[in-house]
Structure 1
């Protein structure tokens, strides 16, 4: 289990509504596309972050977290585990409140480093699965 008790609820209900979704493109067949749609249905503003900087679900995309010109509350990470550390570090640098590593994205050292930096952190979980559990 890669979330302390209560952290999932705190991130979903208490950190704010702007979620940068790293790895989100306009490819409807990717999990990030579907999860972002669920987040929107539950009142979250999604911000696509992908090298292509595509508009997805009506929201302007950005190539990197640093390119986003407004505050981000949660960084939801859909990249391979070996690429997730720099994304978490960038989340810390932009002042995000939380980082969420999706199912299969696991790096315990990054988990600890991100928590030590003061951010809430969840790893190897999916908000599209967790949100209905909270209702």
Structure 2
């Protein structure tokens, strides 16, 4: 299992499940910060066409390219199904944002051989590691 810092350092493309258009929600500000620091963000939201100017896809199954990380902004009860979907698309890692934890999601990720992080914020970890993808 890679550390949270190593997962971020290795990632280039992040699918964000539950990305929001609401500029006051962490599900908007966190992926926007990652985008501004050089990661490619693919918002996953079936209810809107774009988030921060980036076209959305309705589900992980609708992705047309591989992703390095699936970042989850959904309640723990929903995260289990999202982790199953991440395993189906062969995502190498899943990350449940701050306040989200699930023993079942962890088990599914481990059985699928995915790296797993829960109850941690991507943006905080990026800042702590002073990580950026910008040239």
Alpha-carbon distance in 2 for matches of 1:10, 1:53: 31
- Name structure 1 gaps, 5 residues minimum: none
For the residue of structure 1 that corresponds to 2:50, the secondary structure is coil
**Counterpart-to-counterpart distance in 2, 1:50 and 1:87:** 12
Aligned partner of 2:111 among 93, 110, 116: 116
Q: TM-score, structure 1 length as denominator?
A: 0.90
In structure 1, distance between residues paired with 2:101 and 2:77: 8
Structure 1 residues 70-109: aligned runs within 5 Å? 70-109=65-104
Match of 1:24 among 19, 23, 45: 19
Q: How many correspondences in the alignment?
A: 130
1:40 to 35, 42, 45: 35
Following the alignment from structure 1 to structure 2, what is the Cα–Cα distance between the partners of residues 130 and 75? 15
- In the TM superposition, residue 65 of structure 1 has moved relative to its aligned partner by 0.5
CA distance in 2, matches of 1:109, 1:52: 26
Q: Structure 2: where are the runs of 5+ without partners?
A: 131-135
Root-mean-square deviation (Å):
1.3
- Distance in structure 2 (CA, Å) of the matches to 1:112 and 1:123: 12
- TM-score, scaled relative to structure 2: 0.90
The reply to whether residue 63 of structure 1 matches residue 54 of structure 2 is: no
